[in-house]
Every structure is written in structure tokens, then in C-alpha cells.
Amino acid sequence: MDTEFTQYQQLKQEVNYHNHRYHVLDTPVISDVEYDRMLATLRQMEAEHPGWVTPDSPTQRAGAAPADRFEKVRHPRPILSLANAFGAEDALAWYERIRKLDARVEQASFIVEPKIDGLSVVLHYRDGVFVQGATRGDGEVGEDITANLRTIRSIPLRIPVGGQAAQAGETFSGLPLFSTTSHKPGPTHQPPAYLVVRGEAFIPNREFEELNRRLEEAGEKTYLNPRNTAAGSLRQLDPSLTAQRPLTLLCYQIVYSEGGQVPTSQWEILEWLRGLGFPVTDVARRFESLEAAVTYTETWDQRRDELGYEADGMVIKLDDLSMAAELGFVGKDPRGAIAFKFPAREVTTRLNEIGVAVGRTGVLTPFALLEPVEIGGVVVERATLHNFDYIAEKDIRPGDRVLIKRAGEVIPYVIGPLEGARTGVEQVYVPPQYCPTCGQPVEHFEGEVAWYCVNAACPAQVIRNVEHFVSKGAMDINGLGIKIVEKLIETAAIKDVADLYSLSREDILLAVTRKDRKAKSDPPGKIAENLLAAIDQSRSQPLSRLITALGIHGVGEVMARDLAAHYPSLDNLAAASAEELQTIDGVGPNIATAIVDWFGRERNLAVLSKLKAAQVWPGQQITPGNDQPRPLDGLTFVVTGSLPTLSRDDVKEYIEAHGGKVTDSVSKKTSYLVLGENPGSKHTKALSLGVPVISEEQLRGLCQPTNP
């Protein structure tokens, strides 16, 4: 029995050791299967000897029975907060303030640590055993979330204590117990019999994305951000739910200790905690001057994504903790440390309204009209809502408080609503059934997410249509900017693209506002003449350009060239059947149908006959440059997520214009996956097939002409 008990204790220690290697050090030395087997044996032994079970047994992590409510815990010392600095100047002002109070600050060293955007937790160890864990609460009293914290694998359930064998240096089965770091608790710092440690609990970014991906696949509601999710997970009354969330933590402070010695500098504390088996950041650094500390801090603003978790800044701390303690605090903020905040990337604001824009192809795109809010130095009033499915999935409602993200090059987008902030009057959003611009019914196509306004006379579409018609890859009519186009439509000078060819000098003069005039040397008369000349010149554009200019759904520059090579004129193309069209390489059933549909619409036919009458009716010819090699020739692309600047249609056209092909699904034949924000499962597939993943910027790079 005795030997079995010893075996049991050894096994318990061994499991804890491997747990620490896996969850804290990230360097497991046994396989998951072996670990599970050890844990199973431990469970078996405990089932046979229930009296042996202690709170530090790894079997106790799984999650205890649900509680009715959380008990209150009074913290042994106040759990303090931090004052903020929003830049080097603020940091310097902080330094000046404390220097005036204590001249020793001039010689002081500073520690810089990441300011983890998680939840403060307070961990109690008695005789080396984790006995209680609490939330911060109001700083004086928190909530007892021991059972939940126990499920976090990186929290040690047992730490070495002074009286016991110096376990930190001890070896187990030939392996050092808490090793891989040279910072063991030194003999001068006997681990106290009662130790209270503070850390920040959080969900790492990758785990958060993975969690959301799984939820999305299961058709369940996704979480807003790692912080909210971590907070919700820790405050679950049912610990088995907490156990399912990928929480972890990093420790940085000793709140209280009794019966032992603890280090007196922050730098030593970090090393000491690490030596005891606590997870501790490895990006903390020590500096001999504030200047150096600030410089280091600022480098992390750009590199924050490398941390792997959300950090809202860095904390600059006086290394000498007795000096820091003597400086006292202001309210709840200790004078000895300051939070150097990064510009925010996520903020909340009110979603005043959901607007809907109509694109060239008639796609209705919802966008958020927001209570103006600053994110990272920019005032944001509008944000992307992606599409109507996204709004429905996230249940985003007008009037909601919403979380907005703006990071790097990404266009600001709505992450989702803060449902807890609802007042009850917010109504579920219903997408418009009629086009917000022209009032015609909208349509939905099988297999597509988007809703369309199919009325080609819709003014919103006409503007975009004209814009597209005159663009570089189409009829290339120089000088016809969006402002003039809007004016021309407003003054009824044009109702469709064909009307461009019957514009008079007066029409243009009327549309050219003073604002559009570049310089004095460009009087309205001159602008009008240039424009008329450019319009006239476009009559000689090749057929492929005109086909592109029509803006048929799915027909970009490359497809237009292929079509122009098959049909001598628009008359022939207009008469082609879907079956016939599909014999052309690259024309699938969707595009064939789109083409047939386009030529089947009365309004389009009217535009065509106007174009013909205006002698905008090119015959077949070889487009110059048709057989010139292009940068993306022979390459196949798949696009996922929303790109920083190019819409789905735009990126397709862009790739095709450079000789590439765009397909819907990732396969081994895919040359590149172009990745945007909020990618779908295509990303995972590409990774598993080893398909290279590139950004919009890298795609543009591929299209740059290479030097011969």
C-alpha cells in the first residue's frame, strides 16, 4: 500500500511535470497518447483510493460540478490598476513626477512587459498547493473562481516550497522537474508557505480563431474577440464549460507572501516565478534608462501581432519594488509603473444605421453608419458589414453598440454587436427587398450570397456603369471623372452609357463644376473639348474593349478577349446560346447564363442599338498586345476573405487582366490563394494542400512587369 501510494504520488508529479512542459514551456517530451495514458492510470488509482485525491492532482482540472453563484474573496492586498501613458511624452511626464518625489529614480532601472488584454486573476498557494483563485473584482474583493482556474493547464497546481526538497532543482525520471530555465528559485528566496500571485488570463489569438472556426462550422454563433470570450469563460458557473475554452495566462506579480522570502526587484520576480513553474512572458526586458525602455516599448506597437495574444500596450515598471512601494499610489494606480498604451484597434460605438450601396453589377452592399469614433488616430464613421449573411449571422441590429476593428491596412469593419448593451428596442435587421436607389425589387441568385438590383436603369448602377464603361481597361475615356458622371446623370444629360456619344458641349459645360477644374489653364470650354474628343476617339476601341465595357457579370478583360476572338461583332455575341458559349474555354454555365441574360434584357438591347447608331460598333480585330505574355499567364487563383482595396469583382478582373484565371475552389492546381480578412475554409484547405497564400499587396507585386 505504501509503495503504491508512493507510486501514485510520483505519477501525479510526473503528470504535472509533463503538463508544465506542454502548457507552459511549449516543449513536450512525451506524446499526447502517453500523457493521456498516465492520466488514465492516475484516475484509476484515485478511483481505488478516493482518500488520496488532493487539489493538486491533475485529475482535478477537468471541471468540478456547477456552482449556484461565486463566493466572494477578499484579496490579501489591494489588486491595483495602472495609470495610462499615450506616448513617449506622457511616459516622460510620469518619469518627471516620480523623479521629483524620489531622486533615486534617476539611477533606477525599468522593466518593460507586455500589457496583456485579458483578465486579472489572483492565485493562492498554500504549502505549494493551488488552493484558491479569484477575479480582480473591485480590487478589494473578487469572486472565487478556483474551479474554473483549475481547468487552465498552464496554472501550476503545485509549486515547490521552501521546506520541501528543493523541487525546482530536483530531477524526475532523469528529467529536471521545473527546468529549461536557469532561473530557479535561489536559496536566498525560499518559496513562502503562503504565496499569492497575480497574472492575466487570456485566450491566444490563434486558439481564438480556431474556436470561432469550429463554431462557424457547427453553425453556431461565433465570439466577438478573445478578451470578451476569456471573460465569459472565466465567469462560467459550470467549470466544465471553462475547461473547453483555450484559456491560458501569464504571471507578473506577487501580491502577498508569508513564511518565506521573495525577490524585491521586478526582474527577479519574473525569473523567480518562472522558476517556480508559472508561465511568464519572455518578451520582458530590463533597461537602465527610461529612454531605452520607451524605445523598446515603441517597437512593440508595430510588432504586437507577434505576441500571439492581444496586448493593449506595454507596462513600464520600476525594477526596484521597494522604491516603487515607497512612491505609493494615486487612487488605485501605483506610481511605480505606467501602462504605455498602443493605439486602439478595436473600439465600440453605436451603429446608427445600416446603409446599402448599389454597385455596378447591381450588388447591394450593406455598410455601417456609425456614431463617429476614433480608432488609432482616425475618425471612423463608416465600416464594412461585408454582406447580408454576415449581418444575419452576427445578428447585427441598427441601434446596437458594436465592436469596430481597424488594424493596419484593413478597412474598418463591424466585428459584431455587444448584445449585453441592448435596450430591447433594437429590431432584427431585414435586408431591403427593393433597391434603395431605384425602388425596383431586388433578386437573389442561386448559390450566391449577394442580392442584386437587376434594374439596369437604376441611377446608382448607371453611375457605376458609366464609371466602368470609361475606365482604362474598357473604353478608356480620359477625363470623365465620377463627379462629372454624377452631374451628367443628375442633369439627365445621360441615362445610359450610349448617351455619352450624343453629349453636347453645353451638357458638359453644365456638368463641369468649378471644383473639377484642375487649374486656370483648364477652362471649362477646354475640358469639354478634350472630353468630346476622348469620347469620339473611344469609337475606335476594339470589340474586346466594348465587351468589357458592357459590364456583364463575370466578364472581365480576359473573358472579353476570348469572346471577341470567337464572335465577329456584338450582333453575333448577342445571338449566341448558352450551350454555344460554353464551348469557349473558360466560359462556365454561370457566365454563359449571365451573358445570355444580359443580351436578353430590353434595356440592354436599347443601349446596344443606340451604340450601333452612334457608330460604336467595332468589328473583330486582334487586340494589340493580345499575344504578348502577361505576368499571370497560366496561373490559377482563388480568393478568400475581404481584401483591403479590391472587391470580389475587382480582384477577378485584375487577375484576368494580367493573364490569370480565377476559380472558386482550392485544389492542388491552384497556384495561389489570395487571402483577405475573415477568410473562409478555403484558407485551411490551401494550407493543407501547401498552396501558397498571398496578400492583395503580394498579388499586385506578382503583376509588376519583371525586367527581362
Contact residues for ligand IVH, defined by CB under 6 A: 80-82, 113, 115-116, 120, 200, 252-253, 315, 334, 337, 339
Closer residue to ligand IVH in complex, CB, 273/691: 273
Please report how close the Cβ of residue 428 comes to ligand IVH at its closest, in angstroms: 36
* Whether the Cβ atoms of residue 116 and residue 310 lie closer than 8 Å to each other: yes
* Whether the Cβ atoms of residue 284 and residue 183 lie closer than 8 Å to each other: no
| 683, three cell numbers | 484558407
* Whether the Cβ atoms of residue 200 and residue 123 lie closer than 8 Å to each other: no
Q: State residue 489 phi and psi, 5-degree precision.
A: -75, -40
Closer residue to ligand IVH in complex, CB, 329/445: 329
Q: What is the CA radius of gyration of the chain?
A: 33
* Whether the Cβ atoms of residue 362 and residue 355 lie closer than 8 Å to each other: no
* Whether the Cβ atoms of residue 533 and residue 505 lie closer than 8 Å to each other: no
| 293, three cell numbers | 525602455
Closer residue to ligand IVH in complex, CB, 21/227: 227
Closer residue to ligand IVH in complex, CB, 191/334: 334
Angle, nearest 10°, between helix axes 2-20 and 32-48? 150
Please report how close the Cβ of residue 194 comes to ligand IVH at its closest, in angstroms: 20
Please report how close the Cβ of residue 115 comes to ligand IVH at its closest, in angstroms: 4
Closer residue to ligand IVH in complex, CB, 231/565: 231
Closer residue to ligand IVH in complex, CB, 337/470: 337
Angle, nearest 10°, between helix axes 557-566 and 648-657? 60
Helices then strands, each counted (H, E), the chain = 24, 26
* CA nearest neighbour of 15 among 35, 31, 45: 35
* 476-483 contacts, C-beta under 8 A, 24 or more apart: 476/538, 476/541, 476/545, 477/531, 477/534, 477/535, 477/537, 477/538, 478/530, 478/534, 479/527, 479/530, 479/531, 479/534, 480/531, 480/534, 480/535, 481/516, 483/513, 483/515, 483/516
Please report how close the Cβ of residue 254 comes to ligand IVH at its closest, in angstroms: 10
Please report how close the Cβ of residue 102 comes to ligand IVH at its closest, in angstroms: 17
* Alpha carbons 410 and 405: distance in angstroms, whole number: 9
Closer residue to ligand IVH in complex, CB, 339/607: 339
Closer residue to ligand IVH in complex, CB, 271/557: 271
* Whether the Cβ atoms of residue 159 and residue 195 lie closer than 8 Å to each other: yes
* Whether the Cβ atoms of residue 168 and residue 184 lie closer than 8 Å to each other: yes
* Whether the Cβ atoms of residue 595 and residue 552 lie closer than 8 Å to each other: yes
* Alpha carbons 87 and 345: distance in angstroms, whole number: 16
Closer residue to ligand IVH in complex, CB, 346/507: 346
* Whether the Cβ atoms of residue 152 and residue 248 lie closer than 8 Å to each other: yes
Amino acid found at 624: P
Please report how close the Cβ of residue 331 comes to ligand IVH at its closest, in angstroms: 12
**Catalytic status, residue 100:** no
| 380, three cell numbers | 471612423
What CA–CA distances, in Å, run from 582 to 388, 562, 568, 665?
31, 12, 17, 20
* Whether the Cβ atoms of residue 38 and residue 25 lie closer than 8 Å to each other: no
**DSSP secondary structure code for residue 615 in this structure:** T
CA 516 to chain centre: 38
Please report how close the Cβ of residue 314 comes to ligand IVH at its closest, in angstroms: 8
Please report how close the Cβ of residue 686 comes to ligand IVH at its closest, in angstroms: 35
| 447, three cell numbers | 448559390
* Whether the Cβ atoms of residue 452 and residue 515 lie closer than 8 Å to each other: no
Please report how close the Cβ of residue 138 comes to ligand IVH at its closest, in angstroms: 12
Residue nearest to ligand IVH (CB): 120
Closer residue to ligand IVH in complex, CB, 325/606: 325
| 84, three cell numbers | 495610462
| 643, three cell numbers | 481584401
Please report how close the Cβ of residue 329 comes to ligand IVH at its closest, in angstroms: 8
Closer residue to ligand IVH in complex, CB, 80/493: 80
Please report how close the Cβ of residue 253 comes to ligand IVH at its closest, in angstroms: 5
- Whats the size of the chain, residue-wise? 708
Give the SS3 label for residue 251: strand
E runs forming strands in 212-325: 248-258, 285-287, 311-318
Closer residue to ligand IVH in complex, CB, 246/313: 313
Half-sphere exposure of 142 (CA within 13 A, CB side): 25
* Distance in angstroms between the alpha carbons of the first and the last residue of the chain: 81
Q: State residue 695 phi and psi, 5-degree precision.
A: -95, 170
Residues in contact with 519: Cβ distance below 8 Å, sequence separation at least 6, in sequence order = none
- Set 12, 72, 100, 115: catalytic member: 115
Please report how close the Cβ of residue 81 comes to ligand IVH at its closest, in angstroms: 5
* Whether the Cβ atoms of residue 11 and residue 58 lie closer than 8 Å to each other: no
Q: Among all residues, which ones are annotated catalytic?
A: 115
